[in-house]
């Protein structure tokens, strides 16, 4: 990321940080008091640290204002670049694989799901030849299953 891009990103980060700080403070203020004193209430420490986070966001915000980080505009060209980016596509596909794996984790037997996950991801990211991929997927899953499921007796799905 270039310095100019980072300044713009910092401007947005600062807004998010101030908002997060405000949320933590607002929820902390709604927590019940403690009979011995306000300082022992469960919301006291979150109140302090939420305020610090908001204050740090404010410092970052002021800094980016001075350096001109606010001067940016999102246009169609920007979105087209994101859409056509190979990196974005690869991250999206990996995330899709991960979400599918998590969704099916307690629904499909571990050996089957993990072998299929490994085979699918290694195939998409061109990690190995097809036959190597198949062997690695099955052998790695079996080893993991044996060590954790059999030796350590961890109940796998």
**Nearer to other proteins among residue 1 and residue 76 (C-beta):** 1
Question: Phi/psi at 68 (nearest 5 deg)?
Answer: 80, 25
C-alpha separations of 53 from 29, 46, 83 in Å: 16, 10, 33
Angstrom distance (rounded) from CA 71 to CA 82? 20
User: What size, in residues, is the chain?
Assistant: 157
**Nearer to other proteins among residue 80 and residue 89 (C-beta):** 89
CB of 76 to other proteins, least distance (A): 23
Other CB atoms within 10 A of residue 9 CB: 14
Sign of CA pseudo-dihedral 128, 129, 130, 132: negative
CB of 111 to other proteins, least distance (A): 12
Maximum C-alpha span of the chain: 68
CB of 96 to other proteins, least distance (A): 12
The answer to whether 137 and 112 are in contact (CB under 8 A) is no
**Nearer to other proteins among residue 72 and residue 121 (C-beta):** 121
**Nearer to other proteins among residue 76 and residue 155 (C-beta):** 155
Residues that bind other proteins (CB under 8 A): 1, 6, 9-10, 13, 17, 20, 24, 27-28, 31-32, 34, 36-46, 48-50, 52-53, 56-57, 59-60, 86-88, 90-91, 94-95, 98-99, 101-102, 105-106, 114, 117-118, 121-122, 124-128, 133, 136, 140-141, 144, 148, 152, 154-156
CB of 60 to other proteins, least distance (A): 6
CB of 131 to other proteins, least distance (A): 13
DSSP H or E segment with residue 5: helix 3-29
């Amino acid at each position: 990321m270039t310095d100019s891009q980072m300044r713009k990103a910092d401007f947005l980060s600062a807004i998010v940080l101030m908002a997060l700080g405000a949320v933590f403070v607002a929820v902390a203020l709604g927590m019940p008091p403690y009979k011995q004193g306000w300082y022992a209430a469960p919301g006291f420490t979150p109140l302090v640290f939420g305020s610090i986070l908001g204050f740090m966001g404010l410092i970052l915000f002021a800094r980016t204002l001075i350096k001109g980080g606010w001067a940016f505009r999102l246009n169609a060209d920007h979105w087209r670049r994101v859409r056509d980016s190979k990196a974005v596509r690869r991250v999206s596909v990996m995330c899709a694989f991960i979400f599918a794996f998590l969704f099916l984790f307690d629904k499909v037997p571990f050996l089957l799901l993990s072998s299929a996950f490994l085979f699918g991801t290694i195939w998409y990211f061109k990690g190995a030849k097809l036959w190597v991929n198949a062997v690695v997927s099955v052998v790695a899953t079996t080893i993991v299953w044996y060590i954790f499921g059999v030796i350590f007796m961890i109940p796998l799905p």
